[in-house]
Structure 1
Amino acid sequence: MPKKILTLEFKDLNELHKALGIAGTKHPLFSIIKFEELPALNNSKEAKLIFDFYQITMKTSFPCSIRYGQSTFDFNEGVVSCFGPRQSSIIDPHFVYAKSGWLMNIHPDFLRTYALGEKIKQVGFFDYEINEALILSEDEQKSLEIIFQQIEREYHLPIDKFSQDVIVASLEVLLSYFNRYYERQFVTRKINAGGILKKFDLLLNDFFQHKSNQGLPSAGYLAAQLNLSTRYLSDLLKQLTGLTTQQLIQNKIIDLSKDSLTGTTLSVSEIAYQLGFEYPQSFSKLFKAKTNQTPLEYRQSFN
């Protein structure tokens, strides 16, 4: 019988502040906390944490482990992690806070009337897993520290009609830096990432050879097989190939279907079912969109 894990859900920021043993928020929808100012955590059990708001953490020296799925990850250098609302994580019984850095909490309503409110929903790294955190160089860490310090200063000033505008503007700059540094991280890891691309292609081939009776392969399935989040895999593949996971799946479908159309006498419907399509019309529609020909037109062009 699996052991029961304590689950803690936080629906608003003041609930979190109370649980952390610190004063309430200066703004009901936004807070920024320095790790070194948090009281020691008395935690003797594994706990699953779920928050109804965005969280951004920048940690320098992080002597603890966090578990995602079946893997445990240790951080002992400057890292940035971003979490979207309702994203869960499990902390171990010996969890301690980072020695320095910041924890930023942003309720979606804080951004609701700003363009950033919609933009942040499209930002990929809020869907990344903890093992896909942004590892900072010394210069990058210094640049981000300046922005975090600016936001912290503004947060502690008396609230006026410009306070929220200033913080949101700083958040936009912060996310732009995250995008830049993640791009660098993808580039510097390209050698290792090439192995992921090879594994991805092998997984696709294996799926179509042995599992097409289960339907079409999904981006989520392939990411899980590679121990990556769906969003991170897609962003990584886009950096490596210029194509998203879904586009690469579709290209593989077209390549395999072309082989069948020119090398076998199978009907279009039989090929569609063989590839995992539930409806042959869906296959024909995709083929036409990708090649500007129907499957039959493509086959006839080789006769």
Structure 2
Amino acid sequence: MQDFHVLATVTEYTRFYGLPAPAHPLLTLVSLGETRVAPPPAQWLQPVVLQLYTVFLKRNLDGPLYYGHQIFDFREGVMGFSAPGQVFRADAALAASEVSGWMLVFHADLLRRQPLGQKIHGYGFFSYQVHEALHLSAREEALLETLLSGLRQEIESPTDAFSQDVLVSQLEVLLSYANRFYHRQFLTRRPAEHDLLSRFEALLTAYFTAAEEQPLPTVQHFADALHVSPAYLSDMLRTLTGQNTQQHIHHALIEQAKLLLLSTSLTVKEAAFRLGFAYPQYFSRLFKQKTGLTPAQFRFSLQ
């Protein structure tokens, strides 16, 4: 059984990776070009559970880095994000002598009593998988570097009554730009994203036209089938179609329900079970919410 190092504070993080002590107890900005290590120390090869948020841009990291159950290398510069609870591990073959970029590490306590403390849960990219990283243009990288320069200056300034508010506001601007850049990526990488949309639509159609009864489909079901994270799938669909995954599922579900109600003699209860509902009242409630009519009223109105 493997031992896991749990890094719960920014100070624990910097000590573990041999980085300079943080100037702020809840946040640190690391310049990766100044902290090159090759090969990685033996302790880095053990899994690390990071109870912190990270925002990073890494280039020229030669070799695999384990992120959860995925393997990724950063030879190509990409930006990524992780939320507390993620597992990381370096491979023995990892060479970081040429790595460059930066990493922003911060504790959730930094956001306590701040609007960003709630808003950050809406940034789906903290739940994306590693192969869904953000690819930046040179102009976008330069913009982020400018933002980081201001953030670094504030971190290194003496703390006063306004320090936390300023830090959090600067962090929110950085995340807002990341959100914008991801939506740009969904639109500009059209062949890949539209192929994903087409495959999702095909899976959705096949699921509801299957002859046998099946449980209600979940967002996780389709994300797993498409080998992407649920958050990435929903954000991609919302950008391309205006609706997230759950809304697509509900639309297909209601359309199939209408077909059953109009083309079969199934009772409302039987139709609900055919569609995968364990409780018919849930089916009736959803149907009325989406159409303005109960299933019985809909059937009667078109007879």
For normalisation by structure 1, the TM-score amounts to: 0.91
Q: Which residue of 2 aligns with 1:54?
A: 53
Q: Give the drift of 1:46.
A: 4.9
Q: Give the drift of 1:163.
A: 2.7
Greater mean deviation of Cα atoms: 53-62 or 122-131: 53-62
Contact 1:62 1:76 in 2 (8 A): yes
Q: Which residue of 2 aligns with 1:176?
A: 176
Q: Give the drift of 1:48.
A: 2.7
SS of corresponding position for 1:185: helix
- What is the distance in 2 between the residues matched to 1:70 and 1:89? 9
Q: Which residue of 1 aligns with 2:74?
A: 75
Question: CA RMSD, aligned part only?
Answer: 2.2
Q: Which amino acid aligns with 1:300?
A: F
Unaligned runs of 5+ in 1: none
Q: Which residue of 2 aligns with 1:285?
A: 285
SS of corresponding position for 1:57: strand
- What is the distance in 2 between the residues matched to 1:223 and 1:286? 23
SS of corresponding position for 2:4: strand
Q: Which residue of 2 aligns with 1:157?
A: 157
Q: Give the drift of 1:23.
A: 3.2
Contact 1:54 1:83 in 2 (8 A): yes
Q: Give the drift of 1:211.
A: 9.1
SS of corresponding position for 2:24: coil
Q: Which residue of 1 aligns with 2:8?
A: 11
Q: Which amino acid aligns with 1:79?
A: V
Contact 1:223 1:233 in 2 (8 A): yes
Q: Give the drift of 1:125.
A: 1.1
Q: Which amino acid aligns with 1:64?
A: G
SS of corresponding position for 1:77: coil
- What is the distance in 2 between the residues matched to 1:107 and 1:71? 24
Aligned pairs for 1:118-137 within 5 A: 118-137=118-137
Q: Compared with structure 1, are the counterparts of its residues 173 and 202 closer, same or farther at alpha carbon in structure 2 (3 Å cutoff)?
A: same
Q: Which amino acid aligns with 2:141?
A: Q
Q: Compared with structure 1, are the counterparts of its residues 187 and 39 closer, same or farther at alpha carbon in structure 2 (3 Å cutoff)?
A: closer
Q: Which residue of 2 aligns with 1:200?
A: 200
Q: Give the drift of 1:62.
A: 3.2
Contact 2:61 2:94 in 1 (8 A): no
Q: Compared with structure 1, are the counterparts of its residues 148 and 91 closer, same or farther at alpha carbon in structure 2 (3 Å cutoff)?
A: same
Contact 2:208 2:252 in 1 (8 A): no
Contact 1:44 1:93 in 2 (8 A): no
SS of corresponding position for 1:135: coil
Q: Deviations over 1:242-298 (max 9, x none)?
A: 111000000011111111111111111111101100011111111111111111121
For normalisation by structure 2, the TM-score amounts to: 0.91
- What is the distance in 2 between the residues matched to 1:217 and 1:91? 36
Alignment length, in residue pairs?
300
- What is the distance in 1 between the residues matched to 2:83 and 2:181? 19
Q: Which residue of 2 aligns with 1:95?
A: 94
Aligned pairs for 1:27-42 within 5 A: 27-38=24-35, 40=37, 41-42=40-41
Unaligned runs of 5+ in 2: none
- What is the distance in 2 between the residues matched to 1:47 and 1:131? 22
Q: Give the drift of 1:214.
A: 4.8
Contact 2:52 2:84 in 1 (8 A): yes
Greater mean deviation of Cα atoms: 44-53 or 175-184: 44-53
- What is the distance in 2 between the residues matched to 1:212 and 1:14? 55
- What is the distance in 2 between the residues matched to 1:66 and 1:80? 14
Q: Deviations over 1:164-210 (max 9, x none)?
A: 23222211111111111111101012222121112112222333355
Q: Give the drift of 1:44.
A: 8.3
Q: Which residue of 2 aligns with 1:300?
A: 300
Q: Does residue 185 of structure 1 match 2:173?
A: no
